[in-house]
Amino acid sequence: MTARQLALTALLNWQKDPQSHLEQHIKGNLPPKDLDLAYTICRGVLKEKSFLKATIKRYLKKDKLPKATETILLIAAYQRIFLTKIPNYAIISEAVKLAKQKSPAHASLVNAVLRNLDRDITEGFDPNKQDLSLSERYSHPQELIDLINDETKDQALTEEILIWDNARPKTFLRLKNGGHEECLDVKAAVNSPEFKRGEIYFMQLWSQSVANAAPVKDGGKVLDLCAAPGGKSLALLDRAKIKLTACDLSEARLETLRENFARLGYANDPNVTITQLDAAEADKHFPPNSFDLVLLDAPCSSLGTIQRNPELRWRFKIDQLSEYAALQKSILKAAQTLVAPQGHLLYAVCSFAKKEREAVDLLRQDKNWLLKEEKLTYPGEQNLFDGGYFALFQKNELPRIPR
User: pLDDT value at position 29?
Assistant: 85
Please say whether the beta carbons of 190 and 206 come within 8 A.
Answer: no
User: pLDDT value at position 62?
Assistant: 79
Cis before 287? omega within 30: no
- In 61-115 the beta strands, taken as DSSP E runs, fall at none
Residue 78 binned pLDDT confidence (cut-offs 50, 70, 90): very high
Whether 19 shows a pLDDT value over 90: the answer reads no
Q: Nearest-CA neighbor of 358 among 326, 335, 336, 388?
A: 326
User: pLDDT value at position 402?
Assistant: 53
CA end-to-end span of the chain: 76
Please say whether the beta carbons of 304 and 377 come within 8 A.
Answer: yes
Mean pLDDT of 171-187: 93
- State the span(s) of the chain assigned CATH 3.40.50.150: 171-395
Whether 118 shows a pLDDT value over 70: the answer reads yes
User: pLDDT value at position 343?
Assistant: 97
Q: What size, in residues, is the chain?
A: 403
Other C-beta atoms within 10 Å of 155: how many? 11
User: pLDDT value at position 235?
Assistant: 96
Q: Which fold has domain 171-395?
A: Rossmann fold (3.40.50)
- In 278-368 the beta strands, taken as DSSP E runs, fall at 291-297, 339-349
User: pLDDT value at position 18?
Assistant: 87
Q: Does domain 3-132 have CATH number 1.10.10.10?
A: no
- The DSSP H or E segment spanning 275 is strand 272-276
Is this prediction's pTM over 0.75? yes
Q: From edge to edge, which strands make up the β-sheet containing 221-224?
A: 272-276, 243-248, 221-224, 291-297, 339-349, 388-395, 369-377
| Distances 170 to 167, 184, 193, 281 between C-alpha atoms, Å | 9, 8, 22, 36
Whether 63 shows a pLDDT value over 80: the answer reads no
Whether 88 shows a pLDDT value over 80: the answer reads yes
- State the span(s) of the chain assigned CATH 1.10.940.10: 3-132
User: pLDDT value at position 358?
Assistant: 96
pLDDT in tens, 135-177: 999 999 999 999 999 999 999 999 999 999 999 999 999 998 8
Report how far residue 350's alpha carbon sits from residue 330's, in angstroms, rounded to the nearest whole number: 18
pLDDT in tens, 235-270: 999 999 999 999 999 999 999 999 999 999 999 999
Nearest-Å Rg of the Cα atoms of the chain is: 24
User: pLDDT value at position 399?
Assistant: 53
Q: From edge to edge, which strands make up the β-sheet containing 200-202?
A: 180-183, 171-175, 200-202
**How much is the mean pLDDT over the chain?**
95
pLDDT in tens, 378-401: 999 999 999 999 999 999 876 555
Please say whether the beta carbons of 326 and 374 come within 8 A.
Answer: no
Whether 10 shows a pLDDT value over 70: the answer reads yes
Q: Nearest-CA neighbor of 369 among 403, 332, 402, 314?
A: 332
User: pLDDT value at position 208?
Assistant: 96
